[in-house]
Structure formats: structure tokens, C-alpha cells
Amino acid sequence: MTSTTAPVAAPTATEAISTTRQRLALASVLMATFMGLLDGSIVTVATPSIQADLRASFGEIQFVIAGYTVAYAVGLVTGGRVGDLIGRKRSFVIGVLTFIGMSVLCAIAPTAGMLIAARVLQGLAAAVMLPQVLSIIQVTFTGPARAGAIGIYGATIGLASISGQLVGGALLAANPAGLGWRSLFLINVPIGVAAIVSARATVTESRGGSTRLDLAGASLLGLGLVGLLLPLAIGPAAGWPVWTWAALAAGVLVLAGFAVIQRRLQNTGGAPLVPPRLLAQARFARGLFLVLVFYSGNAGLFLLLAYHLQAGLHFSALGSGAVFAPLGLGFAVASLAGKKLAARYGARVMVAGATLMSLSLAAFVAVVAVAPQQVQALALLPALVVSGIGEGLVAAPLITTVLADVAPADSGAASGVLLTGTQVANALGVAVIGGIFAGVLGSTPDEANTTVAFADYVHATAITGGIVLALAVLTGLVARALRTRH
């Protein structure tokens, strides 16, 4: 019998080269993604060493951490628009090159003041570098290939967020060349150089529809985000002094004024930094709310787990990172698998992931409440693996959902808004969950504080774990609404 199926032509040499080039381009931008997001958390484990070596005050150490995260979040939307204006590839390379330079400056900093300044500049470099990643993926891939690339991007975000404790603890324990905490910054040099070399050869240049940069809007957005994020980053450790509440109120007012001006620019044919039409798209707006709920819960869980392991169970930074590793592994595996599941089942995959998160967090709270101290970390591992799988199933289709209706001309701004949303969510999760934890504990979580009994840590972790569980349930409800409406 003769087959009626037409023969499939073998891929030409040109097509093979194109596919290889796309994969190398993806690897280039993902290396920078991992590097930039890792630097937001890796320094946390080294703060005691930095404080002792540079004779820094507690406030200065807080600014070493907050300086990077706030500068990064403040510059993201503007960085995305810069890529639309002068070219995503060019902006990416400039951002990575500047990030490398600031990493070296951090590593050689002789004083806390110089380290803080270098960290702020490093955060601004990340704000130029990282918004280009999603834009480059959007214009490099189409159809199922784009969904797959975004799935891998989601896995990279999760791994970078979770790996800070493990990578930082491992580098401090290994102490390469006797560099101590300085090695945490120098590790960026080979990664960044490899990303630049590969990107220059494989990434295709692209631009958006912007013809000029809204400098007034960028200034207002920056001031508003500083007013919002700096108090959230510094307030919990500083005891929420009056200035933090004043800054929060001012930040909200400035952001409200920014929104009014952006709408006026759009209505008069101008070029707003954040086009209000983005938030008018139902899928983008609801997806952005889901980003806020999901990532604030994740940030709260990571902080809660770090407190319980290091201050409650007296684990080292490396030991704590090892307990985080199964969660990261589950996240990565589920993110990679989630891209295929999402292509078939759509937003239902996010609902299933949030359900797994909720079940695993309920098990987490139960283990903390009843398991003996000696075996508690081991008993937590199954729940953490399942939680990582659930998070990966949410993260893989989430970014695709948020960006599904975004026009190519607005991809830079949309990427900046999306990444800013994750940073705001992280800050909210850390500030709110950390504040509630300390309030229930009745003391600042501190491994050196022997006046707080383990039973007190159990109580505080169980109570705040219940709040993280509620956020996971809310994640599922919002994802279900997206599934129903789309």
C-alpha cells in the first residue's frame, strides 16, 4: 500500500545553524540572568564576614544588601525602555560589562562606604541588563519554541533565587585563594565575560517603538519606588522608625502621580515610560497580580526557612543551603516539564502547581509543629521537594501568561514592569513575613541569641508558615480565575 503522507524534508544547513544560534543566544542571556539574580541573595550569607572585615555598622551592612535590590528594582522599567530605544543587544552587553566592573569594585572595596556605592551601581547595571532578556527571547523565538525558552527562563529565575544560600555558603567554606567574602563578587567575572562573548556572536539586535525616553517619568518612577522599597528593605531590621512610614506614604503618592502623568502622555500621543495600555490588558493586569501574590509567598517561605534552619536549628549557611537544594531541584525539573504541560493544558497547570504548593506547605507546618528537633530538617525534605515542584509548575506558564497579549513594541516596558513586580513582591514578602515572624517570636531571629528556646522558633515558624500557606491558596484562586477567563 502506498503511503499518502508527504515526505518530511531534512533540515538544511542554514536551518541547523539558525537553531544552534538561537540556543546559544538563549544560553548567553540566561547566564546573565542567573548571575544578576543570584547577586541579590548570595551576599546575605557573608554579612558577618563583611561586617568584621570592613568594621561596618549594622546599618551599613543593611545598605550593602538593600542598595543592590532597591537600585535594581528602581531602574528596571527605565532599563527596559532604554533597550527599546537604543537596541536590546547593545543594552544587554553594556549592562553585563558594567555589572562585571562593579563586581570587581565590590571585591576590592576597602571600606563599607565604597562597597555600598559599588553595590548600588551594580544594581543599576543589573537593571539595564536583565529587562533585555525577556525582550530578546520574545524576538528570537516564536510559537512553541518561545514558550519553551520562557519555561527555561522561569527555571533559571527559580534556581538563582534559591541558590544564593548554597552557592554563597560553598564559596565561603572553600575560601578560594584566601579571598573570603570577596570571592562572592569575583565569581561574576568569568560568567559575565562568557555571556558577553556569546551574546555578541549570537544575539540579533532589535528595538521597540520608542523614539525617546520619558526622563520625567523615569525620575518619578525612581523616586516612588525608592520611597516604597527602601523602607521595606530596611524597616524590619531597623524597628520601623518614623522615617520609614513617611517614605512609604510619599512613595505611594509619587507613584500615583506617575500613573496620572503616564495616562496623560498616552492620551496626547506621547511616549510614556509605562504605557497604561499594558495594565488595561486584562491578562497582563491579572497576571501581574498573580506575580505579586506568588513571589511574595515564595520570598516569605525562603526567609522563614532560613530563619528556622540557621537560628532555630543552628545550621551553618552551607548546611542551610543544602536543605534548600531539594526545593531548587524540584523547581527546576517542574519548570522544564511545565512548558510542555502548559502548552497542552494552559493555565490549569498553574492551578495544579498552586495545589501542590498548598499541600506541601500544610505538611511543612505539621512537620515543624510535631517532629523532634534532631530529625526535623530531614523530615522537611519531602515537603520541600513537593513545594519546589508546585512552584515550578506555576512559574513556567506564569511569565508566558503575563506577556501573552503584549505587543512587540512594548516588550521592553512589559519586561521591566514584570521584573519590577517580582522585586516588589520579594520586598513585601520579606518585610511582612519577617516582621510577623519576629513579632510572634518576641525577638529578632539570631543564632547567637541563646535566650530564645527552640519551642519559640517552632511556634513562630508554624504561625507564619500558615500565612505563606494562605498565599499559596490565593495563588491557586487567581490562577483559576485566569484559566476561567482565558
Predicted confidence (pLDDT) per residue in 346-357, tens digit: 778 889 999 999
pLDDT at 404: 72
Residues 265, 289: one domain?
no
Residue at a domain's end among 270, 288, 317: 270
64 occurs within a structural domain: yes
Q: Answer whether residue 99 is part of any domain.
A: yes
Q: Which tens digits make up the pLDDT trace of 78-134?
A: 888 888 888 999 999 999 999 999 999 999 999 999 999 999 999 999 999 998 998
Higher pLDDT, 120 or 402: 120
Q: Is the pLDDT of residue 321 over 50?
A: yes
pLDDT-based confidence at residue 25 (cuts at 50, 70, 90): very high
pLDDT at 253: 93
Identify which has the larger pLDDT, 396 or 139.
Answer: 139
Question: Is a pLDDT exceeding 70 seen at residue 438?
Answer: yes
Domain hosting residue 243, numbered range = 214-270
Q: What angle do CA 97, 100, 104 make, to 5 degrees?
A: 145
Residue 246 and residue 303 share a domain: no
In a domain, 364, yes or no: yes
Question: Do 338 and 468 fall into the same domain?
Answer: yes
What pLDDT sits at residue 379?
92
Same domain, 405 and 472: yes
In a domain, 249, yes or no: yes
Quick one: which of 149, 144, 126 has its CA closest to 24?
A: 149
- 60 in a domain, yes or no? yes
- How far apart CA 364 and CA 371 sit, in angstroms, is 10
pLDDT in tens, 330-371: 887 887 777 677 767 777 888 999 999 999 999 999 999 999
pLDDT at 54 over 60: yes
Residues 310 and 427 in one domain: yes
Q: Rounded CA gap, 117 and 106, in Å?
A: 9
- d(CA 248, CA 246) in angstroms, rounded, equals 5
Give the mean model confidence (pLDDT) for residues 144-173: 80
What's the rounded Cα separation, in Å, for the pair 417 and 160? 20
Q: Between these two residues, 61 and 384, which has the higher pLDDT value?
A: 384
Q: Tell me if 43 sits within 8 A of 168, measured CB to CB.
A: yes
Going by C-alpha positions, the residue among 198, 241, 249 that lies closest to residue 224 is 249
63 pLDDT higher than 50:
yes
**What are the φ/ψ torsions at residue 407 (nearest 5 degrees)?**
-70, 150
Is residue 458 domain-shared with residue 333, that is, in the same domain? Answer: yes
Is residue 5 one of the residues assigned to a domain? no
Tell me what pLDDT residue 386 has. Answer: 94
Classify residue 9: in a domain, yes or no. no
Average pLDDT score over residue span 429-457: 78
Q: How confident is the model at residue 449 (pLDDT cuts 50, 70, 90)?
A: low
Integer-rounded Cα radius of gyration of the chain: 22
- pLDDT bin (cut points 50, 70, 90) of residue 402 is confident
Choose the final residue of a domain: 204, 234, 259: 204
Q: Are residues 309 and 255 in the same domain?
A: no
- Nearest partner of 333 among 369, 409, 385, 287, judged by Cα: 385
Residue 10 lies in a domain: no
pLDDT tens by residue, 274-318: 788 887 777 788 888 999 999 899 888 888 888 888 888 888 777
What pLDDT does residue 448 have? Answer: 55
Amino acid at residue number 318: L
- End-to-end Cα separation, the chain, in angstroms: 45
User: What CA dihedral angle connects 109, 123, 43 and 367, to 10 degrees?
Assistant: 170
340 and 295 inside one domain: yes
Q: Residue 484 pLDDT more than 80?
A: no
Q: What domain count does the chain have?
A: 3
* Cell representation of residue 145: 519554541
Whether residue 462 sits in one domain with residue 414: yes
Q: At what angle do helices 317-345 and 143-174 cross, to 10 degrees?
A: 180
Q: What is the rounded CA–CA span in Å between residue 426 and residue 232?
A: 10
Q: What percent of the chain has pLDDT over 90?
A: 31
- pLDDT at residue number 446: 63
Does residue 436 share a domain with residue 299? yes
B/e letters for 154-191, b = 16+ CB within 10 Å, e = fewer, are bbbbbbbbbbbbbbbbebbeeeeeebbbbbbbbbbbeb
Contact 306, 445 (CB under 8 A): no
pLDDT at 6 over 70: no
For the chain, what is the mean pLDDT? 83
Residues 164 and 301 occupy one common structural domain: no
Residues 213-222, mean pLDDT to the nearest whole number: 80
Specify whether 265 is located in the same domain as 278.
no
Alpha-carbon gap, residue 58 to 239, rounded angstroms? 13
pTM, two decimals, is 0.79
CATH code, 335: 1.20.1250.20
How confident is the model at residue 7, as a pLDDT?
39
CB atoms within 10 A of CB 474: 18
For residue 272, the model assigns a pLDDT of 79
Residue at a domain's end among 153, 172, 204: 204
CA–centroid distance for 239 within its chain = 25
Instruction: Note the pLDDT tens digit of each residue in 189-201.
Output: 999 999 999 999 9
Angle subtended at Cα 397 by Cα 393 and Cα 398, rounded to the nearest 5 degrees: 100
Q: Does residue 11 surpass a pLDDT of 50?
A: no
